Structure 1
C-alpha cells in the first residue's frame, strides 16, 4: 500500500463540499485520516475564506489511477481544470505526496504547496509531524517550525463528520 497525502480546500459552500470530499475519500480508503479543518484567507485573490485540511490515505492503486480518482471527485463538485488559477473553488483536491515519488510533472511530487502555504503545512505538521518529505529529508514538523510567511490561518471547531473517524 502506498501512502497518499492530499490537500482539500473549498470557499464556495464550504461545509457541503468539504464534507462531500471527506465521504468520497473514505470510499477510496475507509481508514483514511484527516487533519483538523483550518480557515484561511484566499491567497492571490479576493474572495470568501477557505476551509482547508489534509487527508492521509493508503492505496494499492498506481499513481495515475489514484490521481485521476481525486480529480474525478473534484469534477463531480463542479471543479473545472481549465479555470484560472487564483479564484473561488467549490472543491480543490491536490495530491501532495504519493509514497516516495519525486517527479517534476504529471503530477509534480512532492507538490510545492507544502513549502508555500500555511494552510497546507500546518495541518501536515499536525497529522504527520515526523514524516520526511521525499527528496528533501526534513519532516513536516521541521518545515512548519521554520515557516516564516505570515498567512492568516486558524482552526475551526471539528464538525461531526470528522469526529466520527475511528482512526485518528
Structure 2
C-alpha cells in the first residue's frame, strides 16, 4: 500500500476549513501524519494569505480514485468545479507524492511539480520526511529545501493552528 503525501491549503475561513478538511481525510483514510501549519502569501493572484500543511497516509486507492475523492472533498467544502487555478480556496487538496510514482499516472503528473519550487509545499514535506527522496530528482527533500530556501523570497511563517 503506497504512502501518499497530500498538500492542504485554504485562504477562506482558513482555520475552520483546514480543521474540517482534516476531519474528513482522517475519517476517509485513517490516522494522518501531519506537518506543522504555515502561513504563506497567495501566489499568482492578489488574495488573503493561505494556511498550508502536508498530510501523509497509506491508501489502497489508485491515483485516479484518490484524485476523484479529493476533488469531492474540496467540492463538499465549497470549492466550485472549474475554479480558476489562481484563486481563493476554501479547501485545496493536491496529491504531492504517491509512493515512488514518477511520471504521468492516471492523467496526473507525479510527483507534483510544486514540490520543487513552492516553499509552502516543500517545507511541510521536509518536516514530515526530511530524508525522503524525490522520485524524479533523486535528492532528499531536505537537500531540495536547502537549495530552494537559499534562492526563494517566498514568505513562510509557522502558524499555531491546534489540530
Long gaps (5+) in structure 1: 163-168
What's the counterpart of residue 64 of structure 2?
64
Counterpart-to-counterpart distance in 1, 2:66 and 2:76:
16
Instruction: Determine whether 1:52 maps to 2:52.
Output: yes
Contact 1:29–1:57 (Cα < 8 Å) also in 2: yes
Counterpart-to-counterpart distance in 1, 2:121 and 2:143:
14
Over 3 Å counting, the alpha-carbon distance change for 1:67 and 1:78 in structure 2 is same
Return the TM-score normalized by structure 1. Answer: 0.91
What's the counterpart of residue 39 of structure 1?
39
- Comparing 96-105 with 3-12, greater Cα deviation is found at 96-105
What's the counterpart of residue 155 of structure 2?
152
Task: State the shift of 1:108 in Å.
Answer: 1.1
Counterpart-to-counterpart distance in 2, 1:69 and 1:99:
18
Task: State the shift of 1:94 in Å.
Answer: 0.5
Counterpart-to-counterpart distance in 2, 1:27 and 1:92:
18
What's the counterpart of residue 136 of structure 2?
135
Task: State the shift of 1:103 in Å.
Answer: 2.0
Return the TM-score normalized by structure 2. Answer: 0.93
Long gaps (5+) in structure 2: none
SS of match in other structure, 1:108: strand
Over 3 Å counting, the alpha-carbon distance change for 1:107 and 1:81 in structure 2 is farther
Structure 2 matches for 1:1-168, cutoff 5 A?
A: 1-104=1-104, 106-147=107-148, 148-159=151-162, 162=163
RMSD (Å), alpha carbons: 1.2
4+ residue runs over 3 A deviation? none
Q: Deviations over 1:60-97 (max 9, x none)?
A: 12221111111111111111241111111111110010
Contact 1:28–1:59 (Cα < 8 Å) also in 2: no
Q: Deviations over 1:2-33 (max 9, x none)?
A: 11101000000001110011111112222211
Counterpart-to-counterpart distance in 2, 1:13 and 1:139:
34
